[in-house]
Amino acid sequence: MSIEENSTLEKKDFGIKGFLFEIFDLLVYALIILSITYIILGFVEQRTDVEGSSMNITLNDKDSVFVDKISYRFKDPERYDIVVFKFLHADDTYYIKRIIGLPGETVQIIDGKVYINGQMLTDDNYGYADIDRPERAVNPITLGEGEYFVMGDNRNGSTDSRFSSVGNVQREQIVGRAFMRIWPLNQIKFLKKDINNRPQE
């Protein structure tokens, strides 16, 4: 075999090896991307679709939101956060509501208004109607450690902590905080706690 033939053969071998290395690199990159996606969807954030009208006017039926699943690992949920939580009485059922009462507080509904520790909640501009049905909150409800009282913004069209089927929401039920509406496209926005600017009808 001549020197020229050897050289040609080595070039061909290098070309095949180079191709295989490129395929290997692509597979590694794909695996990294899939791993990052899995981590993000599993532990950082997820997309959730809204069903029903219980959060009108803030969120509407068929809206899609991003849920932040990591913040509550470092801080406690706050009043007026919109949270997604697991419904304990049905598998794979989740609710989206707004936090109204915090651990250790006493919640009561009197004459259609929410009272916290005996004081009317005056900065709650999210619920746009007086409450017709206080249900269990007609009497004072004292929240235990790690318990939250949640309500839908559509106060008269929401099944929430007022009802015994939902009751007080435990911290471990909460999946995360809804922080951004991503659908419909013409209504994309961050879901900020702006108590002075309630969504307009």
Q: What pLDDT score was predicted for residue 88?
A: 82
pLDDT band at 198 (very low <50, low <70, confident <90, very high): very low
The active-site residue out of 54, 69, 158, 161 is: 54
| Measured distance CA(36)–CA(50) in Å, rounded | 26
Whose CA is closest to 162, among 170, 171, 152?
152
Answer for the pair 110, 130: CB distance below 8 angstroms, yes or no. Answer: no
- What single letter denotes the amino acid at residue 78? E
Could you read off the pLDDT of 70-83 as tens digits, one per residue? 999 999 999 999 99
Whose CA is closest to 178, among 52, 67, 57?
67
Q: Where is pLDDT greater, at 174 or 37? A: 174
As a residue count, the chain comes to: 201
Q: What pLDDT score was predicted for residue 4?
A: 44
Tell me the C-alpha to C-alpha distance, in Å, between residue 195 and each of 54, 111, 128, 147, 161.
19, 21, 12, 23, 21
Q: Where is pLDDT greater, at 137 or 8? A: 137
Query: In a 10 Å sphere around its CB, with 0-12 CB exposed, 13-18 middle and 19+ buried, how is residue 115 labelled?
Result: middle
The active-site residue out of 2, 11, 53, 97 is: 97
**Mean of the per-residue pLDDT values for the chain?**
81
Could you read off the pLDDT of 76-107 as tens digits, one per residue? 999 999 999 998 877 788 999 999 999 999 99
Q: Is the dihedral of CA 117, 123, 125, 129 positive or negative?
A: positive
Question: 75 catalytic, yes or no?
Answer: no
The model's pTM:
0.74
- Here the tokens at position 153 are 């913004």
In the chain, where the domains are located = 1-46, 50-190
Mean pLDDT in residue range 37-50: 59
User: Residue 34: in which H helix or E strand, if any?
Assistant: helix 3-39
Secondary-structure class of domain 50-190 per CATH: mainly beta
Question: 54 catalytic, yes or no?
Answer: yes
Q: What is the largest CA-CA distance in the chain?
A: 101
| Measured distance CA(124)–CA(101) in Å, rounded | 11
pLDDT band at 20 (very low <50, low <70, confident <90, very high): low
Three-state DSSP class for 37? helix
Tell me the C-alpha to C-alpha distance, in Å, between residue 58 and each of 15, 146, 153, 155.
59, 26, 7, 12
φ and ψ of 154, to 5 deg:
-85, 80
Find the range with the poorest average confidence among 31-35, 126-130, 134-138, 195-199.
Answer: 195-199
